[in-house]
Amino acid sequence: MTTHSLHVGATQLVVNTASGVPEITWLGTPLHANLDLLTTLQERPIANASISVMAPASLLPTEADGWVGAPGIEGSRADGSAWSPRFVVDDVAEEAGVLTITSIDEIAGLQLVSRLELTPSGVVTIAVNLSNVGTTDYSLNALRLTVPVGDAITEVVVPEGRWVHEYHEVRLPWRAGAIEQVNRRGRTSHDKPPWITAGTAGFTNQTGTVWGAHLGWSGNAAIRAEVLTDGRRVLQLGEVLLASELTLSPGETYDSPIAYVATSNDGNNGLSQAFHRFVRARSQHDQIKSARPVHMNTWEAVYFNHDLEILKNLADRAAEVGAERYVLDDGWFHGRRLDNAGLGDWWVDQAVWPNGLEPLITHVTGLGMEFGIWVEPEMVNPDSELYRNHPDWAFGVPGYEKVLGRDQLVLDLTNDDAYAYIFEHLDALLADHDISYVKWDMNRDHTQAASGSRAATRAQTLAVYRLIDELRARHPGVEIESCSSGGGRADLGILDRTDRVWASDSNDALERQRIQRGFLRWFPPELMGAHVGPEISHTSGRRLTLGFRGTTALFGHFGIEWNIGDASPEDRKQLASIVETHKSHRDLLHTGTMWHMDTVDPALVAFGVVSSDQTEALYSVAQLEIARYGTPERLQLLGLDAEKQYSVNLISLADTKLGMAVKQPKWVTESISGVDGATLLTYGVQLPCLDPESAILLHVTPVAP
């Protein structure tokens, strides 16, 4: 039998192994045809001027099978052999939603173990292990996991961005040839994070068949979408290996990063909800409680001005407005008075902290808040004791001048001595202080990423994973945030071992609306760091109201990054009200189902979170620019129960005001009560006029029958 089926919940995965490597032939709602008939239905004709076999779009399609697209495996032995393997199935095992296929090519001396798991969320996890079972070294240049999608999938959406402008979405027609996003930055990147969405023409948040693929890898990666001349369409995901980066000695195995794939017939919402369910179901998510502590982060409040009395006053004000965690961001360690020195010297700077961190930590915890701290363990400044003593511990190609980025170099964690040094200092920091949270930053791309003379980005990525894993094992109660110049390292590989992502260094609420929309496509809101920044954004210079800033931050892991010690009493009072609003809704926001709404006006961003029992919902409506039309549109409130009766109330945070209008809808001041869910789902609610750069909340609650 060569066709195998996994059926979990409302999803079926069908895999064919006739070619020796598993090929996904169906993923979606369960089919009723028997597997033999399904195989017959899927047989494709072969056109004239083609080779006489239809090469399968297997997980790793190869040239030896007649595949003319990008091959799944690229590599060879020193004599040039084994460059085009052809596998045969050696064993198939199926158990509890997991299909494991072992394949062998005795001529090439390669063994492949493919593992596909259909999870209850509807997301399929795919990974392969490639082993060298020959007698000589095998150099692997590329391995791409390949997923075929339907013939009707004619558009793709890829992410783009840069620092403080992450996760923006670009829609492209997918008619012929290949669309490829290649990231060689050594981290997930701001501009080409490893995911892609593909769908039927014009697919939206609410309509269309959509496929999503995500590579759980925090180093170099490539995402590829290709249309073959025979009309088949495939998505390919894989790590990018630098020249001579990976050679398998006899008996060694390459473990691919995990690819995560899902499909939806309900547009982007169905796809996002599948990924959110998957992330929330992971065992490591258990540490992330629904009551995510409200942060006070000191960076945009004081930068490097580490004066104990100023920081204690900031803590006092933070506790007054309702913060529950205080994070000392940068500047606390040896020689760190500006951002051009000190990285690598991970001990408390006695010149600034003559009595250590304990006076501040004691003050913070005495106010009932947890204490957190910032580190950047993967980097070293040339102006540091570490670099002066061990310049060979930094990445660089022998014989060439090292390339600086932000006055820093990448520390070679593949070097055992460098790794042990960093682990020892971070372990001591956490052991010696009452620290419950670590903001783990990584602020520059890899260049000259060599350990000795060999490329080492892959090994460095694995070393970072190992370092975090070992620290977590030693300090299991400490939460860790993934930060990389903001959102430069967000993927399901780093999130296997961290609890939060700093989505962007931008606290500009207008920019954040679009950043957060892209982030929330793949990750649930409780993993998204979102802070209320100062009135004038430090990254854009834009001036925004407190109400707009607060509403924008409300749906994530909420925090404050603003010198509220110098804020007016009225601002602090309004901020305290925003914090209380977040706390009153955070269980809903961090456990409910997210829905993004389609709007006629592209400057209108609307989404909401609905409780699992559909009894409560909170929707955000943000007008980013001046409205396209004088009268705003009706908004369908997605996710509600058509049979239930609801009330709808408008919430305006802090100084939010409605836009100029002769008359606003009556419900804005009087609320709506006793309206059925079916009406709210299909007819919707008439929105009021809103000014640019403003937002409102719609709170939906049940009405007793």
3-state helix, strand, coil in the chain (%, to 5): 20, 30, 45
Q: Determine the Cα–Cα distance for residues 643 and 627; give it in Å rounded to an integer.
A: 33
For 464, the enclosing helix (H) or strand (E) is helix 457-474
> Looking at beta carbons, which pairs linking 40-45 to residues 24 or more positions away fall under 8 Å?
42/16, 44/230, 44/232
Entry field: residues in the chain: 705
Phi-psi region of 298 (alpha: psi -120 to 50; beta: other; left: phi over 0): alpha
Q: Determine the Cα–Cα distance for residues 198 and 515; give it in Å rounded to an integer.
A: 20
CB atoms within 10 A of CB 201: 11
Q: Determine the Cα–Cα distance for residues 110 and 82; give it in Å rounded to an integer.
A: 8
CB atoms within 10 A of CB 388: 11
- The alpha carbon of residue 439 and the mean position of all alpha carbons in its chain are separated, in whole angstroms, by 16
Asked if 703 and 646 count as a contact pair (C-beta separation under 8 A), the reply is yes
Q: Determine the Cα–Cα distance for residues 349 and 335; give it in Å rounded to an integer.
A: 7
Look up residue 325 and give its DSSP letter: E
Annotated catalytic residue, options 329, 441, 445, 491: 441
Starting at the earlier edge strand, list the strands of the sheet with 233-239. Answer: 145-149, 233-239, 221-227, 177-183
Look up residue 197 and give its DSSP letter: E
**Among 556, 566, 501, residue whose Cα is nearest residue 532:** 556
For residue 689, what are its two tokens?
Answer: 């006029």
90 noted as active-site residue: no
Asked if 680 and 614 count as a contact pair (C-beta separation under 8 A), the reply is no
Q: Determine the Cα–Cα distance for residues 212 and 274; give it in Å rounded to an integer.
A: 10
For residue 328, what are its two tokens?
Answer: 């000392």
For residue 245, what are its two tokens?
Answer: 């980066």
Asked if 677 and 642 count as a contact pair (C-beta separation under 8 A), the reply is yes
441 noted as active-site residue: yes
Annotated catalytic residue, options 349, 412, 505, 571: 505
For residue 651, what are its two tokens?
Answer: 């919430």
Contacts for 662 with CB less than 8 Å, ≥ 6 apart: none
Specify burial of residue 56 (Cβ count, 10 A radius: 0-12, 13-18, 19+). buried
Asked if 117 and 100 count as a contact pair (C-beta separation under 8 A), the reply is no
Residue linked to tokens 């961001």: 329
Starting at the earlier edge strand, list the strands of the sheet with 23-28. Answer: 3-8, 11-16, 23-28
Q: Which residues pair with 608 in a beta bridge?
A: 595, 619
Q: Determine the Cα–Cα distance for residues 625 and 407; give it in Å rounded to an integer.
A: 38
Q: Which residues pair with 249 in a beta bridge?
A: none
Sign of CA dihedral 602, 212, 203, 643: negative
CB atoms within 10 A of CB 41: 10
Catalytic residues: 441, 505
